[in-house]
Every structure is written in structure tokens, then in C-alpha cells.
Chains A and B, each alone.
Chain A
Amino acid sequence: DPKIIQKPKYLVAVTGSEKILICEQYLGHNAMYWYRQSAKKPLEFMFSYSYQKLMDNQTASSRFQPQSSKKNHLDLQITALKPDDSATYFCASSRGGCNQAPLFGEGTRLSVL
């Protein structure tokens, strides 16, 4: 059973709309992350959260907003969608401490038309 659940698996949106990508982890981890993978760029880090607090933000656009309603949730809200936002968005998590590699979910593939 997958321990990091991302919903939906596939998502089609129209330009200008807003979508929320869901991520839940059942590993007991306290750090969660979002990464993006597109055809034009390699896997790139977007956000990291620890104990529901934002630790690092490498996303220039404020259209991307992570939301952590529970400690095992880190959703990603994307507003004013653009075709360039088309990508696969991966959620990841890791345990506290310096000795844990992030584990990844299966991703949400977003297509913006």
C-alpha cells in the first residue's frame, strides 16, 4: 500500500483556473516537500515544511501556495494556472533528523490547456 498518497493522479485544467493537489503521508514523518518535474526542466524543489511550518521556498511565483491543515498533510494550491505549469508534481516526506532520505509519492500529472 502506498504510504504517500497523492490525489488526483491526473488533472486537466484550463488556463486561468485554480486547482489543489492533495498529499497525505502515513509514515509518521514530520517533514514534507513538493517537487516539480516537467519536460523542460529536471526535477526541481519547490517547498519544504517541517512540523507544519514553511522551512524553504524556492518557487518564485506566489501562485503556488502550500497548505498544511494536519501534520501529515501538505496540499498545493495553484492559482491562475498557465500552460507552463503543466508538469508532474511530486510530494515527498522524511523523518526528523539528518539521516533520512525523502520518500516520494507517485505524483499528480497536471495538464493546463
Chain B
Amino acid sequence: AQSVTQPDARVTVSEGASLQLRCKYSYFGTPYLFWYVQYPRQGLQLLLKYYPGDPVVQGVNGFEAEFSKSNSSFHLRKASVHWSDWAVYFCAVSMLARSKLSFGKGAKLTVSP
């Protein structure tokens, strides 16, 4: 069965510093991978998506992620974090883009001044 692990439940980064949020997936076959962000009291917003192709995908607000088949990973990165990035970030995997998403437990990002 497909599953996602986000090993870092809480991450604190200084404003302006770089960020990496880790995501490991377990899936037999070709995965479709996603990163979503959830701001307080809001729904999930799509940051970026990976479909088989270029392993580095660009998202909104300066986020990017890199797919690694050998490491079964899809880590999220940002070069310079802004205070408005303070949110919970979810990694998700699906077999097909239209089928169910399996989510990780999320990583709560705190941005310190």
C-alpha cells in the first residue's frame, strides 16, 4: 500500500534562511507526488506536483521539490524563508492524479525573526 513519511513533525527556521522539509514515500510503481500547505484555520493549498518527468519541480512562492526514485524521496526546498511561510506542510502520494491521496502527518514550520 502507498504511504508517506514526513520524519520532521516540527521545524523552526530563521527568516531568510533556507528550508528543507523531508518526505519519504513507499509505493510500488510510478508515484504521483504532491506538496500542500495549510495555513491556520484554512484548507490545503497546492504548492507543487510531480508527474513522471523532470525530477525537479517548481512550485508557487519560490518552493521547489526534487524527486529521487533511488531514495524514494520528494523533499521540499526553499532558498529563503519568509515569515508568511509559517504553516503546516503536507506531502502526499497517489497512484494516479485522480485517485486517492495518501498524506503524511505534516510538518509544522515555524519562522523565527
Contacts and interface: CB of A to CB of B under 8 A. Distances in A.
Given A42-B106, A101-B34, A104-B36, A48 B100 contact: yes
B58 interface: no
Interface in A59-113: 90, 92, 94, 96-107
Contacts, number: 57
B27 to A, nearest CB: 15
A50 B102 CA distance: 18
Interface string B85-110: 00000101000111111111110000
Interface residues of B, number: 23
A100 to B, nearest CB: 5
A94 B97 contact: yes
Contacts of B46: 101, 103
A12 interface: no
Nearest to B6: A42
Contacts of A58: 100
B51 interface: yes
Interface in A31-60: 31, 33, 35, 42-45, 48, 50, 55-56, 58
Interface of B: 32, 34, 36, 42-46, 49, 51, 90, 92, 96-106
